[in-house]
Amino acid sequence: MTVKGTLFDFSGTLFRAEPAERWLRAGLDAVGLDLAPPEFARALGELQAVGAQPGGTAPREVHAHLAAGWRVRDLSGSQHRAAYLAQARQVSLPYAGLHEALYERHKDPVAWEPYPDAAEVLAGLRERGVRIAVVSNIGWDPRPVFHRHGLDRFVDAYLLSFEHGITKPNPALFQLACATLGTSAPETVMVGDNRRADGGAAAIGCRVHFVDHLPVDQRPDGLRPVLDLAG
């Protein structure tokens, strides 16, 4: 069946969060602090271990008393902030406000970089008349990220978990995305990096294309096969 719609995940699919080292440095700059190299390395390693950077390394472990909040982090902005700050605050930092500064940094459009083929693929789909939606489990609005990088002009709709109170792989979010685009599930492709969350689109009959969540310089053309699917 001809592809008439594509659903794209955000983080790890179209965009990648900045390297953790730059994220931590930006947070320190925001509060006017610096750390000696050994202390910087210690803080960085511990922050990565607990998954404090949204879009960065997943936590090695979520402790039982934090697990409930972690599971529902993408259902609202307040739950997202609370869950990530709870993870981050397991790490001792030299200034209490640094945890909040790091959380705010990850939402800054400059903290995200599109994959090298993102613009080419989105433009190619638009030229073919394929409608495009961003379907993301997220607790904040990524529209400014798309605008900063000039990709917003290709996107017809954003279906964000925190705006609808639904997270992938719940079929309801994919159904809503297809309805918003005006496409049926069999003529829609979901593109994402998470086998469980993004793979949920298959339950309503969408085709699914997976990409690897890699640094941008290690994945130059992971999205290009989507153009072949679109014909």
Bridge partners for 134 per DSSP: 8, 158
Q: Which pLDDT band holds residue 1 (cuts at 50, 70, 90)?
A: confident
Per-residue confidence (pLDDT) for residue 170, from 0 to 100: 98
- Looking at residue 73, its amino acid is R
Range list of β-strands (E), 23-119:
112-114
Where does a domain end: 69, 91, 110? 110
Residue 126, number of CB atoms within 10 A of its CB: 15
Same domain, 106 and 132: no
Give the residue carrying structure tokens 């954003």.
Answer: 158
Residues 226, 161 share a domain = yes
Do residues 75 and 176 share a domain?
Answer: no
Report the alpha-carbon distance of residue 78 to residue 86 in Å, rounded. Answer: 12
**Rounded Cα gap, residues 190 and 174, in angstroms:** 9
Looking up residue 213, the CATH number of its domain turns out to be 3.40.50.1000
Q: For residue 96, what pLDDT is reported?
A: 82
Task: Assess whether 82 and 95 both reside in one domain.
Answer: yes
What's the predicted TM-score (pTM) here?
A: 0.95
Q: Are 80 and 140 in contact (CB under 8 A)?
A: yes
Length of the chain: 231
Tell whether 120 and 96 lie within a shared domain.
no
Q: What are the pLDDT digits (tens) for 50-71?
A: 999 999 999 999 999 999 999 9
